[in-house]
């Protein structure tokens, strides 16, 4: 391993003045050293992959193990030698991953997600009604961006929304890079214990929800999931199902407050606009970790078996070779879905269609109902999530009228 003093650190500091741009080093690296060695906060060296084509190639390569996901390299307390838990749809590879994905994928088809659009619209309208009943100001994160995806994922999975504080607090700890190892393990255990009780009840009394169907689907196929598998899989779906979307709603709103002339484009063509926002913001801010199980060529670099790689999603999504004028928000960009905000390959985000519907309905509903929405504080006073795996804004005070 290269000495720490000789290896540059993984870029994590965003440029001052623009909270939406990734670290400035990425632009230089794409030109001069697109696959280069970095020292990660977790303590190991890795190949940092910054160009779009190379990132896609790494994520599509079946010899690249996902065992170190998700973004474990960014956590100083990560144990990269820890055994992958049964049921970890994010970390398992090969047949183990395929088995779990086949059990879940039917719940996230375009047709099934579209059937939920009306429910999402109702949630958006009801939360806007409640927000607009306030005396002209609100925190958009607490009053709008967080509860909507939380309610949606609870409804889909079969988790009582009244229990949300039992998992939202712990999920915040689990995605924090500042949490100690003990804090992370305690948060994980608390959510696991909660889900074990929930699954035990659903085994006795199944309902019309994803968790109940997972149980019955495994039994019907003669391949039932163990309680450990159910809990680990359920935890992944629950945490990922609201963290990323909630942060995207709030951060996208801030972008549009900064670019008021762009709001009409969102209302006129929300599908295209959402894809551009996903590319531009890339909220999985530290990239995703992969482990080479055999020798492979990445661009001009020879990567050896046993080495780690970091696929920098936010750098790939700012690659000028594929996205001309990549640092600009452009809702008229061609081929908007070519971004890698949801990853790529076998481990591409399974809930991406649901996230798209939630983002479309939340942003169009917000700016249709509140066309005079504005920041209630100077932008310079906002606090951002620089120390979490999913980037966002901690609070978003807004006003209207």
pLDDT of residue 373: 97
Coil vs helix vs strand at 206: coil
Coil vs helix vs strand at 10: coil
- Nearest by Cα to 317 from 353, 347, 256, 276: 276
Name, of 51-55, 155-159, 163-167, 386-390, the range with top average pLDDT.
51-55
The full DSSP string for 240-298 is HHHHHHHHHHHHHHHHHHH-GGGHHHHHH-HHHHHHHHHHHH--BTT-EEEEESS-EEE
- Nearest by Cα to 127 from 149, 141, 147: 147
Q: Where are the alpha helices (DSSP H) in 75-161?
A: 94-105, 110-115, 117-132, 140, 147-157
- Nearest by Cα to 106 from 213, 195, 219, 212: 213
Token output for 389: 């795996």
pLDDT band at 215 (very low <50, low <70, confident <90, very high): very high
Distance of CA 163 to the CA centre of its chain: 22
pLDDT band at 4 (very low <50, low <70, confident <90, very high): very low
Task: Please report where in the chains the tokens 């940092």 appear, as a residue.
Answer: 48
Q: Does pLDDT of 2 surpass 50? A: no
Q: Does pLDDT of 109 surpass 70? A: yes
Q: Which of 18-27, 128-137, 167-176, 314-323 has the lowest mean pLDDT?
A: 167-176
Coil vs helix vs strand at 70: coil
Strands 288-292 and 308-311: antiparallel
Tally of structural domains, the chain? 1
Q: For residues 375 and 400, what is the distance between their CA atoms, to the nearest angstrom?
A: 9
> What average pLDDT score do residues 22-26 get?
97
Q: For residues 363 and 370, what is the distance between their CA atoms, to the nearest angstrom?
A: 10
pLDDT band at 5 (very low <50, low <70, confident <90, very high): low
Q: Does pLDDT of 120 surpass 50? A: yes
Quote the domain boundaries for residue 118: 4-399
Q: For residues 241 and 174, what is the distance between their CA atoms, to the nearest angstrom?
A: 14
Token output for 266: 């969102």
Coil vs helix vs strand at 39: strand
> What average pLDDT score do residues 46-53 get?
98
Sign for the pseudo-dihedral over CA of 77, 83, 85, 88: positive
Q: Does pLDDT of 335 surpass 80? A: no
Q: Does pLDDT of 185 surpass 80? A: yes
Q: Which helix H or strand E contains 64, and what residues bound it?
A: strand 64-65
Is 22:285 a contact under the CB 8 Å cutoff? yes
Identify the CATH number of the domain in which residue 112 sits. 1.10.630.10
Q: What are the backbone dihedrals phi and psi of residue 333, each rounded to the nearest 5 degrees, phi first?
A: -65, 140
Is 251:281 a contact under the CB 8 Å cutoff? yes
Q: Does pLDDT of 264 surpass 50? A: yes
pLDDT of residue 3: 45
Q: Which of 28-42, 162-176, 185-199, 376-390 has the lowest mean pLDDT?
A: 162-176
Q: Where are the alpha helices (DSSP H) in 317-377?
A: 352-369
Token output for 369: 């109902």
Q: What is the mean pLDDT of the chain?
A: 93
Q: Does pLDDT of 61 surpass 50? A: yes
> What average pLDDT score do residues 60-83 get?
90
Percent of the chain's residues with pLDDT above 90:
81
pLDDT of residue 1: 43
Task: Please report where in the chains the tokens 């059990």 appear, as a residue.
Answer: 103
Is 123:245 a contact under the CB 8 Å cutoff? no
Token output for 120: 């999402």
Q: For residues 356 and 121, what is the distance between their CA atoms, to the nearest angstrom?
A: 13
State if pTM tops 0.85: yes
Q: What are the backbone dihedrals phi and psi of residue 15, each rounded to the nearest 5 degrees, phi first?
A: -65, 145
């Amino acid at each position: 391993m290269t000495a720490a003093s000789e290896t540059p650190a993984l870029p994590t500091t965003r440029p001052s003045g623009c909270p939406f741009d990734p670290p400035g080093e990425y632009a230089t690296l794409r030109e001069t050293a697109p696959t280069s060695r970095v020292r990660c906060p977790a303590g190991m060296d890795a190949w940092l992959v910054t160009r779009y084509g190379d990132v896609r190639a790494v994520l599509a390569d079946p010899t690249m193990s996902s065992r170190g996901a998700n973004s474990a390299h960014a956590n100083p307390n990560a144990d990269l030698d820890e055994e992958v838990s049964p049921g970890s749809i994010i970390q398992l590879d090969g047949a183990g991953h395929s088995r779990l994905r086949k059990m879940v994928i039917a719940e996230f088809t375009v047709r099934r997600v579209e059937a939920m659009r009306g429910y999402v619209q109702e949630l958006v309208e009801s939360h806007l009604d409640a927000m607009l009943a306030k005396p002209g100001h609100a925190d958009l994160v607490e009053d709008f961006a967080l509860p909507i995806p939380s309610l949606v994922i609870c409804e889909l999975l079969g988790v009582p929304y009244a229990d949300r504080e039992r998992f939202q607090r712990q999920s915040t700890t689990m995605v924090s890079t500042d949490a100690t190892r003990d804090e992370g393990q305690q948060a994980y255990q608390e959510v696991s214990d909660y889900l074990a009780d929930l699954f035990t009840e659903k085994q006795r009394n199944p309902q019309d929800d994803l968790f109940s169907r997972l149980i019955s689907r495994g039994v019907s196929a003669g391949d039932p999931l163990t309680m450990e598998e159910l809990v680990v899989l359920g935890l992944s779906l629950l945490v990922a199902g609201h963290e990323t979307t909630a942060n995207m709603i709030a951060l996208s709103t801030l972008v549009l407050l900064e670019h008021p002339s762009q709001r009409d484009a969102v209302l006129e063509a929300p599908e295209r606009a959402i894809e551009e926002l996903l590319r531009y913001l890339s909220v999985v801010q530290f990239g995703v970790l992969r482990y080479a199980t055999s020798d492979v060529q990445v661009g001009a670099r020879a990567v050896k078996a046993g080495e780690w790689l970091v696929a920098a999603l936010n750098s790939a999504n700012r690659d000028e070779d594929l996205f001309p004028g990549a640092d600009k928000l452009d809702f008229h960009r061609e081929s908007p879905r070519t971004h890698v905000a949801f990853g790529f390959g076998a481990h591409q985000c399974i809930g991406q269609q649901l996230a798209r519907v939630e983002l479309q309905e939340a942003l169009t509903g917000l700016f249709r109902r509140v066309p005079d929405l504005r920041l209630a504080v100077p932008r310079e006073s906002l606090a951002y999530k620089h120390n979490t795996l999913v980037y966002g804004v901690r609070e978003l005070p807004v006003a209207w009228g």
